[in-house]
Structure 1
């Protein structure tokens, strides 16, 4: 069995130069992430792993700033495809939740009721519109799209080569590309009608994937900051010996622990589904996004000017924190979704009952 390796001890690799396709090319391979800070390799779980295992691996990817769409592939796209009953393509995958697309049936059925194209002889679709800021679209072998067809919600896949790609990126220089579809025909074999519950699950999976990445990047900030304050000598002693620095480090560790705990608590409920999954994931993304700014602030404050340079490894974590904080819903969005279903009588049971 082959082994693909990402070695994070090498210099930063730009997204365009990194061969993500080769990393995912062998579906039976064991993917390994290595780095200078860990003597043992970390194996990424198989596609049929539990959500808790996938979340743990996504945290590791966030910790090491892995330049590949691991979380998007393992935690979002593959589980959704399996739930919908579609085959899982080889290679890296991305996703888009796009209710704004214009979709009609390629082979309209004859009907005296409804407008032309509202029913089809089969599920072959004609799709028009733009998918905005699709994560890692240029590196993906396929994009999983959840959208609204005339008959209701659908899930379908297409390859980025079928669209016109406008390159883009986030603050961390990760690809966030626009895909323009001009009446693209999607064969019925790549389309599945889905229940609204799967559309909700897609949003939860995307938010949890981003939260897990934030948890990993937060751990990276803690490790780099503790190492820096221990090694940096100021006024004849390490920075870590100053009380003010100790207090800020304690706050940094506390925020990272809050994110980690919230993310880990959301993994199991997502496997079982139900209202508990919504509550747990909403709490995780709210906490992760809210803590991201504070974690980055403390880490940069304790690093001083060196922390904002491009050569500093800290920026690989903090620029991702700032980017991932807003992606797939920021803390305001998820706090509202967290609070909306709660009432005076249901608040305390929601806080004290295991999801």
Structure 2
């Protein structure tokens, strides 16, 4: 007789209702993800926490299909605000990297040198353009925007109600909204001039956050698949007793381990070097590996689950639809493979590959 048992040992936060405000207001809910307990339960890791700790939280968010921008908040938005010296709002945060925005001074200063508007009486900005597919924009307390202003790279915050929001979603039904800005005034207190390195770091953090989420979803695919092949019997023995199934399970575990190792290897370079060549190499390798492995992980998991893995009643789809979505967000494997290659030369390839992370 065939039997099937869905593994329920790993709590998965339901994705039916996106009550992100309630999630971020409840330390116990976040503690489930960050694996902390009272009295150590905290809303989120500190913005200046070690990247390894932030990656752990992001990976667990991916593993548990958290219906909130935990990785975006903890690993991208809060550290960028901290580095730029901007206040960190409470609650869920999102980010946008938008070099195509039109930005000008709201209060132009008289200047005898340079074109009109090349200087401002202060850093209050007028911003026009569209922020496309902003993760969780409709639920965010604020969106952290990295862009280029007349005076160079800039980081500023805005609230979704300052823009016209066009709702959207990815394949996993996670919000991906467009924010249309028409000469929106950003007060100088919400603006910070930043270095080109910090602007680049925003891109690196976004890609690494997505890779960490993929690593977590991959772990969930492994857990569910092993539980299914152990519980499901065919011809009088568990599916896991068949050699072909064992081989596919081994490949699944291998791919998940590759992603996790690549993500973990990027933590130390990001802490130590900011936007050094070593950091670019590590993050590019992590996102390339994560995006490339996502399709294979989802394929094997669905193949070993059979038809039941396709249904919305089974938790597998919470992981695989996210894998398919996240592999393309913040740069797919083709984009990051090209960047990975640009960090290397004939002289640096072997030392880079053999260096201790």
Aligned to 2:255: 255
**Residue ranges of structure 1 left out of the alignment (5+ in a row):** 1-6
For 1:311, which of 310, 313, 332 is the aligned residue?
313
Aligned to 1:295: 297
SS in 1 for 2:95: strand
Closer, same or farther: CA 33–232 of 1 in aligned 2, 3 Å? farther
Aligned to 1:4: none
After the TM superposition, which parts of structure 1 deviate over 6 Å for at least 4 consecutive aligned residues? 38-42
Q: Given that residues 47 and 78 in structure 2 are in contact (C-alpha distance below 8 angstroms), is that contact kept between their aligned partners in structure 1?
A: yes
Is 1:218 the counterpart of 2:202 in the alignment?
no
Distance across 2 between alignment mates of 1:93 and 1:354: 34
SS in 1 for 2:79: helix
Aligned to 1:194: 194
For 2:14, which of 12, 15, 19 is the aligned residue?
12
1:169-227 per-position Cα deviation (integer Å, ceiling 9, x unaligned)? 00000000000011000000000111100011111100110011000000000000000
SS in 2 for 1:95: strand
SS in 2 for 1:299: helix
Distance across 2 between alignment mates of 1:107 and 1:100: 21
Aligned to 1:229: 229
Q: Given that residues 156 and 190 in structure 1 are in contact (C-alpha distance below 8 angstroms), is that contact kept between their aligned partners in structure 2?
A: yes
Give the superposition deviation at 1:138: 0.5
Aligned to 1:79: 79
Give the superposition deviation at 1:119: 1.2
Aligned to 2:284: 282
Q: Given that residues 289 and 326 in structure 1 are in contact (C-alpha distance below 8 angstroms), is that contact kept between their aligned partners in structure 2?
A: yes
Is 1:119 the counterpart of 2:119 in the alignment?
yes
Give the superposition deviation at 1:69: 0.3
Is 1:349 the counterpart of 2:351 in the alignment?
yes
Distance across 1 between alignment mates of 2:190 and 2:262: 35
Give the superposition deviation at 1:18: 2.6
TM-score normalised according to structure 1 size: 0.92
Residue correspondences, number: 343
Give the superposition deviation at 1:317: 0.2
Aligned to 1:3: none
SS in 1 for 2:327: helix
1:257-287 per-position Cα deviation (integer Å, ceiling 9, x unaligned)? 0001000110111111222111111110010
For 1:323, which of 319, 325, 329 is the aligned residue?
325
1:129-153 per-position Cα deviation (integer Å, ceiling 9, x unaligned)? 0000000001100000011111111
RMSD, aligned CA = 2.1
Aligned to 2:5: none
Distance across 2 between alignment mates of 1:259 and 1:13: 24
Q: Given that residues 15 and 66 in structure 2 are in contact (C-alpha distance below 8 angstroms), is that contact kept between their aligned partners in structure 1?
A: no
Aligned to 2:337: 335
Give the superposition deviation at 1:48: 3.3
Higher strand share: 1
TM-score normalised according to structure 2 size: 0.92
